[in-house]
Amino acid sequence: MKRFFDLSMSVLLLVVLAIPILLIAFSVRLTSKGPVLYWSDRVGRGNVIFKMPKFRSMRVNTLGVATHLMTNPAKFLTPIGGFLRRFSLDEFPQLFSILAGDMSFVGPRPALFNQDDLIALRTDHRVDQLVPGLTGWAQINGRDELAILEKVVLDVEYLQRQAFWFDLKILWMTSLKIVRTDGVSH
């Protein structure tokens, strides 16, 4: 049921959002040099690395580390990067990762390939067996503000509670957070 939901909703959203996606792509290209998409190496189900697309919100040659580890991430943002991140518009290309089966709408956010502490904790608690999500229980309970250990505790809670109705609750709560831009630190 979850995979059917992921496939049907991603196709529907790609159709509905086709014009905004094209406008964002054009805006990224127009306001900064470099590619429109940033392909991030992320950890998927079973700790398999996959390429996750995002609209590029950071300048070319920005270090490939978690943004919260940067001393001043704002200085690396493109002219529209802050706006894209604040409203999670940079995430739209991940609909293609959902179509491909690398991601789901709901699950733990995919770790960066070099977030060894997060990957190890998730593996120890079997969270690595879940398909990563566009949003998740940890995302709506703190997003960028959570420490790694807190994030894993919430990921484990999601693992234990996962159900279609719980996913719908998380999607609803995510939409409310995006509208209010809660938990976005950069």
Q: How far apart are CA 157 and CA 82, in angstroms?
A: 31
Q: Compute the mean pLDDT over every residue in the chain, rounded to the nearest whole number.
A: 91
The one-letter code for the residue type at 179 is V
Q: How far apart are CA 147 and CA 97, in angstroms?
A: 26
pLDDT of residue 180: 74
* Angle between the N-to-C axes of helices 18-31 and 2-16, in degrees from 0 to 180, rounded to the nearest 10: 60
What is the tens place of the pLDDT at every residue in 41-100? 999 999 999 999 999 998 887 766 566 665 666 778 899 999 999 888 999 999 999 999
Single out the residue of 139, 103, 115, 104 nearest to residue 67, CA to CA.
Answer: 115
Give CA separation, 159 vs 70, 120, 125, 144, 153, in Å. Answer: 30, 16, 9, 20, 10
Single out the residue of 107, 87, 55, 93 nearest to residue 178, CA to CA.
Answer: 87
